[in-house]
Amino acid sequence: MFAHHSDDGYIRVSPGITRKTLVYGDKTLMTEFRLSEGADLACHSHTHEQTGYLVSGHMILTIGHEEQELFPGDSWMIPGNIPHYAKILADTIAIEVFSPCRDEYVSC
């Protein structure tokens, strides 16, 4: 599967946060998140393991009880079923991979 750059296909997650599924397979799914300065990603958890990479921007990410300030080039891993949330300090782009594939993120 290939995906080419396009500004189409972004889905609003919450105020100031959108996501787009880029590519996926049987075991993983890659998404791009665009997060606006001042947005908050509410505390949540899911069964999927989640790895991420900060392409641009600045945010504070809390995974369980650990809080980290993140800058471009930083990365993270969130185990399944662990609460996590983020405060967006500047316009941000993050790439995240979920395993297993999140069926609800796949457009049919």
CA 9, 12, 17, 23 dihedral sign is negative
Distance separating alpha carbons of residues 26 and 63, to the nearest angstrom = 26
Cα separation values, 6 from 22, 25, 91, 108, Å: 10, 20, 19, 18
pLDDT digits (tens, 9 = 90+) for 19-49: 999 999 999 999 999 999 999 999 999 999 9
pLDDT digits (tens, 9 = 90+) for 62-101: 999 999 999 999 999 999 999 999 999 999 999 999 999 9
Report pLDDT for 108: 43
Report pLDDT for 106: 86
Can you tell me whether residue 1 is helix, strand or coil?
Answer: coil
**Complete domains list, the chain, with CATH:** 11-103 (2.60.120.10)
